[in-house]
Chains A and B, each alone.
Chain A
């Protein structure tokens, strides 16, 4: 069987990738953010999985508004890094794991999650920035094959937080039922509080973010009960993308151990959060 060994939740703000690509990580406006990543990166470097799954959303690069799949999964052997308008990020293309992807698609559809299947998909900053948060210097290749799990968080109605959490739980079961021995890392991306448009642009809610950071570890069901409207009110119209953290959390065990977390404002117009959890801890009887 395959086993989830860790979960990493992280913001995917494009300027985080740009700061790395342009060598600005020691810039006074950025240094604290990257210093806050260091302990997670060090632990992750010692715990490379066989495959990773990145739960993310596209931003008008891999897909457009012709099709708005609520949930989608990539089954490709390779995912190219998208050119978002001014050249692609100088990071490697992504090698996929079709065998695990196809297993996940079948298991999840059998469980009632009717995913859209992507046989070809360019991945944008929503996908590559979390990989860079994990692995700042990938060289010619990312540490392992990676599978994209897409979520619509851009066009209302987004899936509910409860549905995301349930999908995560089904994803965890699907991973465990894979016939081969594989270790898996799951990344939940996006957030934390932010709003890009409207008179409320620039909205940041540290109280909500800290509540979320604690509950994602200890009481995810509380977060899964939040309505769309409540998430937009408390986390901002783009902060609702935090629902993607719940897919990661759902795929993990009831008891997890926090390895590291950090919180930084602002990354562009966003509150940036990182939280790394070890899934290999003893469970309650």
Chain B
């Protein structure tokens, strides 16, 4: 992306290359059998998919921001969040630092604004 916009991760080709193995892991969690295998030994499952050490740490510690920074696509990362019973509002609360309740309240009040974006 030629022009970066603060606070707005862009899932571009370079990011997608970086996160390729990790996103494949997230995709695999669509099936019950894989979720069971993942939960039985998360570190082994990460190794099987060839995650980097940093990516494995982010996944094991549920460091959602790091997963995005290390090449995760939000639509793929969300597969892991769903498995954990987490909502997109929960993730919004994490990414903004607001916490889930305040984030949800802001959405119900009409969403967040960005003066630079208008």
Question: Which A positions have Cβ atoms within 8 angstroms of B?
Answer: 29, 59-61, 64-65, 68, 83-86, 154-157, 193, 195-208, 229, 232-234, 236-238, 265-266, 268-269, 271
Contact = CB atoms under 8 A, between A and B. Distances in A.
B91 A197 contact: yes
A83 B117 CA distance: 36
28 contacts: A29-B108, A60-B73, A64-B27, A68-B16, A83-B30, A83-B31, A85-B30, A85-B79, A155-B11, A156-B10, A156-B12, A157-B12, A196-B91, A197-B95, A200-B112, A200-B114, A201-B95, A201-B103, A202-B92, A203-B117, A204-B110, A229-B3, A236-B117, A237-B8, A237-B11, A266-B107, A266-B111, A269-B89
A177 B77 CA distance: 43
User: What does DSSP make chain A's interface, helix, strand, loop or mixed?
Assistant: loop
Interface in B1-53: 1-3, 5-13, 16, 20, 23-24, 26-27, 29-31
A197 B117 contact: no
B42 to A, nearest CB: 17
A271 B72 CA distance: 24
Contacts of A61: 30
Contact of B89 (A154, A155, A195, A268): A268
A200 B117 contact: yes
Contacts of A196: 74, 88, 91-92
Name the residue in B8, B13, B118 with the highest tally of chain A Cβ atoms < 10 Å from its Cβ: B8
A238 B95 CA distance: 15
A202 B96 contact: yes
Interface in B42-92: 68, 73-77, 79, 82-83, 88-89, 91-92
Contacts of A202: 92, 96, 103, 106-107, 111-112
Contacts of B96: 199, 201-202
A64 B16 CA distance: 11
Contacts of A59: 75
